[in-house]
Chain A
Amino acid sequence: DVKVTQSSRYLVKRTGEKVFLECVQDMDHENMFWYRQDPGLGLRLIYFSYDVKMKEKGDIPEGYSVSREKKERFSLILESASTNQTSMYLCASTLGSPSYEQYFGPGTRLTVT
């Protein structure tokens, strides 16, 4: 079974703090993704990575950065957390073609106060 793990299930941070969210997959997948999920807005893509050290902006990259130093690990960084970044953060990975199935981690519920 594909396994995607995220470093924390729940996180509470203060405004202005630097926040690291880590994601690890064990299936040697090339592509990894970070989404945030908010009520009424669905899943929104923040950043994705299609290879080690390669990254591309998604639909809402502002206020976020990412790091992929190893194939299995993809980190999301909030440089200076703000209250509007309170959300559920989901990491996913995929082998890509032909099925494009994505496998998700359990999510991190981040609250910024």
Chain B
Amino acid sequence: TQLLEQSPQFLSIQEGENLTVYCNSSSVFSSLQWYRQEPGEGPVLLVTVVTGGEVKKLKRLTFQFGDARKDSSLHITAAQPGDTGLYLCAGGGSSNTGKLIFGQGTTLQVKP
């Protein structure tokens, strides 16, 4: 069974701090997505990484896919209260049905 372990589960920081969220697996994925979900809403896709070692930047967010395509990280620089939410990583490619393996999520709270 493929699993994605996400850490930490909860993070509460002050505005302006930096943080990193990790997503690890023993399985290889064809692609890895990061989503952000606000309370009462559905997850929204932030980024997809597909190449081992790939780094993508989205304003203050930096996403990295591990060289072996088994892990990923999300780094946020100078966090803002608007970054508050649930961050989910998800790995794809285990089947041709489009199923994803989701991590348990990281709840981030950024205090002003």
Contact = CB atoms under 8 A, between A and B. Distances in A.
Interface residues of B, number: 25
A96 B40 contact: no
A100 B100 contact: yes
B42 A105 contact: yes
A97 B98 CA distance: 7
A98 B49 CA distance: 11
Given A99-B31, A100-B93, A101-B48, A107 B100 contact: no
A100 B31 contact: yes
Interface residues on A, range: 20 to 34
Given A31-B97, A50-B97, A56-B97, A99 B42 contact: no
A104 interface: yes
Interface string B7-43: 0000000000000000000000011010100001111
B33 A43 contact: no
14 contacts: A31-B97, A43-B43, A96-B97, A97-B30, A97-B93, A98-B31, A99-B33, A99-B48, A99-B50, A99-B92, A100-B100, A103-B45, A104-B44, A105-B42
Given A98-B30, A99-B33, 15 more contacts: A31-B97, A33-B99, A90-B42, A94-B100, A95-B98, A96-B96, A98-B50, A99-B48, A99-B92, A101-B48, A101-B92, A102-B33, A105-B42, A107-B40, A107-B41
Interface of A: 4, 30-31, 33, 42-43, 45, 48, 50, 56, 90, 92, 94-107, 109
